Structure 1
Amino acid sequence: MKVYLLGFMGAGKSYWGKQLADHWQLPYYDLDEVIVEAEEMAIADIFATKGEDYFREKESTLLRELSMQENFLISCGGGTPCFQENMDFMNQHGTTIWLNPSLETMVERLQRKKNKRPLIADLEDKDLMGFVEKKLAERLPFYQQSRHIISSDNISLDTFTENL
Structure 2
Amino acid sequence: MKLFLLGFMGAGKSYWGKQLAEHYQLPYFDLDEVIVEQEGMPVADIFNEKGEEHFRKLEGEVLRELTLSNDAFLISCGGGTPCFSDAMDFMNAHGKTVWLNPSVPVIVERLQRKQYKRPLIQDLSREDLLAFSEKKLAERQPFYEQSQVVISDDEVTLETFDKLINNA
Root mean square deviation of aligned Cα? 0.8
Partner of 1:48: 48
Residue 118 (structure 1) shift: 3.0
Q: What does residue range 8-157 of structure 1 map to in structure 2 within 5 Å?
A: 8-68=8-68, 69-157=70-158
Q: Distance in 2 between matches of 1:63 and 1:116?
A: 24
Partner of 1:159: 160
Q: Distance in 2 between matches of 1:65 and 1:158?
A: 30
Q: Is the 8 A contact 1:43 1:118 kept in 2?
A: no
TM-score between the two structures when normalised by the length of structure 1: 0.98
Q: Which runs of 5+ in 1 are unaligned?
A: none
Amino acid at match of 1:105: V
Runs of at least 4 residues of structure 1 off by over 4 A? none
Q: Distance in 1 between matches of 2:117 and 2:38?
A: 18
**Identical residues among aligned pairs (%):** 66
TM-score between the two structures when normalised by the length of structure 2: 0.95
1:102-156 per-position Cα deviation (integer Å, ceiling 9, x unaligned): 1011000111112222321232232100000000000000000000000011101
Q: Distance in 2 between matches of 1:64 and 1:33?
A: 15
Amino acid at match of 1:152: D
1:58-91 per-position Cα deviation (integer Å, ceiling 9, x unaligned): 1100000000110000000000000010011000
Q: Which runs of 5+ in 2 are unaligned?
A: none
Amino acid at match of 1:138: E
